[in-house]
Amino acid sequence: MRFINTRNPNESATFREAVLLGPATGGGLWMPETLPHFEDWDSLLQLRWVDRSEIILRRFLGDELDGDALAAAVSEALNFPVPLVKIRRGLYALELFHGPTLAFKDVGARFFAQILELVRKPGDPLTILTATSGDTGAAVAHAFWQRPGVRVVVLYPKGRVSDLQERQFATLGENVMALAVEGSFDDCQALVKACFNDAALKARHGLTSANSINVARLLPQMLYFAEAVAQLHQQDVRDGIVIAVPSGNFGNLCAGLMAQATGLTVRTFIAATNANSTVPEYLDSGEYRPRESVATLSNAMDVGAPNNWERIQHLFRGDLYALRQALRWGFKNDDETKRAIRELRGMGYLSDPHAAVAYAVLEDRMGLSETGVFLGTAHPAKFLPVYGPMGIPVTVPESLAALRDRPLLAKAIPNQVDAVKAELEH
Ligand SMILES: *Cc1c(COP(=O)(O)O)cnc(C)c1O
């Protein structure tokens, strides 16, 4: 499969090239040139999660990657369950947080780490430079920690990620460097972009992005949408499936839309954001106004200029009318998020703040005869400061609790590209 630059349809790359390049030239992103349409979804949906995932990815990448190596990458990356939890009739949570860092970003990051081993030139320098609003840093750092010949540099907005989130990536050390930037997540993303624009720097360190802009993270995210539908089929739910995606950089929703384009029977996707409502407002007004992000309870979605929206625009050829037909959307503020957490708790389900946003928008936008699924993108225990004041007890999994006593190895830096470059030279 070939990938094309969203900003220049004449520029294309192999998967291998696209993975190693990260962003495309001119700030564009790589997208599959065409998406295959699968006629055999019914039988695919009867397969086990890992087997199905392997077959699907082989159809995307089998022309370039060895089948056995790809199979090994899939089974290693997706070695945790993705349960669909029934909350009440017609309402489900797809829990994507049973991986090692307790967030859905494990799926993309672990697959990316596997793929990078397959496509990189042995011996060349390799530095994964990534900006995180909380969960990416942890997932990427863990996926690459102690891997020989790879260095990970995580940029994050100082004071804007939760304590346990920070500890997940800033206590590892060894080949993982954590840089606390005096700025917002958008600032961190801009710093990463600026480093990539420095060709000499990029070549010297073998800079590679592990953000959701990398195609190797995007593709495996299609897989759990199929798993949600498969588990609904097992419960005899086949029609009227709507899936609400708590969105920040919009990689998750993009992957869902790509899965739908291959013929997966999802009626519609719901784009849900917190107060960082650039996309819902665009869909309402037709005017796209990226802006500074504001801090919310669902901090991994605090993105004012979502990177992957460009990919979704590309999928719909920039046709606002088609986008409005294909999607439903909405956004929720922090009070509404807390109300949603309480409502779900009343139904016996403890939700993290991100999933709660998706649930709240789903409740607004789904029809009575439809079956709603919202994505549970992180474990609630990653957000203890949200639940304490609400008087809601949260059990912290042992893997997280153990991090509390580890010393932070982060270094604070100003919001300046030269400061990042200086750290890279160490
Ligand atoms: C990253 C993240 C999101 C947003 O996903 P995008 O693909 O960036 O839209 C939502 N919830 C959690 C917990 C996340 O870590």
Q: What is the CATH number of the domain that holds 244?
A: 3.40.50.1100
Give CA–CA dist 173/349, Å, rounded: 36
Distance of CA 238 to the CA centre of its chain: 26
Q: Is 105 in the pocket of ligand 1 (CB under 6 A)?
A: yes
Please work out whether the CB of residue 301 comes within 6 Å of at least one atom of ligand 1: yes
| Cα gap 99→49, rounded to integer Å | 15
- Report the 10 Å Cβ neighbour count for 43: 11
- Measured torsion, CA atoms of residues 182, 187, 190, 192, in degrees rounded to the nearest 10: 40
Q: Decide whether any atom of ligand 1 lies within 6 Å of the 354 Cβ.
A: yes
| Phi, psi (rounded to 5 degrees) for 282 | -65, -45
Q: What is the pLDDT of residue 72?
A: 93
422 is a domain residue: no
266 vs 243: CA distance, rounded Å: 7
Is 406 a member of any domain?
no
Rounded to whole angstroms, the Cα distance separating 4 from 13 reads 6
Q: Is 54 in the pocket of ligand 1 (CB under 6 A)?
A: no
Which stretches of the chain score pLDDT less than 50?
Answer: none
H or E element in which residue 10 lies: strand 8-13
Among 261, 256, 230, 259, smallest CA distance to 245 is for 256
Which pLDDT belongs to residue 160? 87
Give dist(CA 403, CA 408) in Å, integer: 10
The answer to whether residue 230 is domain-embedded is yes
The closest-lying atom of ligand 1 relative to the alpha carbon of residue 251 is 7
State whether the beta carbon of 101 lies less than 6 angstroms from ligand 1.
Answer: no
Provide the number of structural domains found in the chain.
1
Q: Is residue 345 part of a domain?
A: yes
Going by C-alpha positions, the residue among 249, 14, 186 that lies closest to residue 115 is 14
Give residue-wise pLDDT tens across range 68-119. 999 999 999 999 999 999 999 999 999 999 999 999 999 999 999 999 989 8
Work out which ligand 1 atom sits closest to the CA atom of 377. Answer: 13
The pLDDT score that the predictor gives to residue 212 is: 72
DSSP state of 174: T
102 lines ligand 1 (CB under 6 A): no
104 Cα–ligand 1 center, Å:
8
Interstrand relation of 371-376 and 411-413 (parallel, antiparallel or unpaired): unpaired
Ligand 1 atom with minimal separation from the 382 CA: 13
Residue 321, burial from CB neighbour count under 10 angstroms (0-12, 13-18, 19+): exposed
| pLDDT computed for residue 248 by the predictor | 96
Are the beta carbons of 270 and 253 closer than 8 angstroms? no
pLDDT in tens, 186-243: 899 899 989 988 999 999 999 987 877 889 999 999 999 999 999 999 999 999 999 9
**Token pair 């993982």: residue:** 176
Residue 200 CA, ligand 1 centroid: distance in Å: 32
Distance in angstroms (rounded) separating the CA atoms of residues 246 and 177: 28
Region of residue 196 (left: phi > 0; alpha: psi -120 to 50; beta: else):
alpha
Whether 71 is in a domain gets the answer no
Pocket test residue of 112, 166, 301 for ligand 1, highest count of atoms within 8 A of CB: 301
Which residue's CA is the closest to the ligand 1 atom numbered 14? Answer: 300
Would 24 be classed as within a structural domain? no
What pLDDT shows up at residue 122?
85
Please choose from 374, 377, 386 the residue to mutate so as to test ligand 1's pocket, defined by most ligand atoms within 8 A of CB: 377
- Establish if 171 belongs to a structural domain: no
In a domain, 99, yes or no: yes
The whole-model pTM stands at 0.93
Question: How far does residue 138's CA lie from ligand 1's centre (Å)?
Answer: 13
Q: Which two tokens stand for residue 227?
A: 């798993």
The CB of 376 under 6 Å from ligand 1? The reply is no
CB 315 within 8 A of CB 325: no
Ligand 1: distance of its center to the CA of 66 in Å? 31
Atom of ligand 1 nearest to the CA of 247: 9
C-alpha 244 to ligand 1 mean position (Å)? 12
Boundaries of domain holding 326: 82-103+218-394
Atom of ligand 1 nearest to the CA of 135: 15
SS3 331: strand
Q: Which atom of ligand 1 is nearest to the CA of 134?
A: 15
